Amino acid sequence: KLVYGAPLADASGGVCGTFLLIEAERRQAAEQFIKDDPYMQAGLFADHQLTALHEAAPPMPFEVGK
């Protein structure tokens, strides 16, 4: 499932990509999530990188956009 998403900014503040934090039991599920993404299917992403994250601290509550 999608936990968080935000546009990535380049040095001048322009949008240069997208960051998605996905929660998945297995890598295969995360790969399927990316494959099923409407932007990916529309060819709007030139490429992608899937990286595992090891949680180092309990999740902190936050408000998107704050």
Q: Would you state the pLDDT for residue 51? A: 93
Nearest to 40 by CA among 64, 61, 20: 20
pLDDT means over runs of 10, the chain (66 residues)? 91 92 93 93 90 80 63
What whole-number distance in Å separates Cα of residue 33 and Cα of residue 39? 11
What whole-number distance in Å separates Cα of residue 19 and Cα of residue 40? 13
pTM for this structure?
0.71
The angle subtended at Cα 26 by Cα 37 and Cα 40, nearest 5°, is 15
Nearest to 20 by CA among 10, 12, 31: 31
What whole-number distance in Å separates Cα of residue 59 and Cα of residue 40? 28
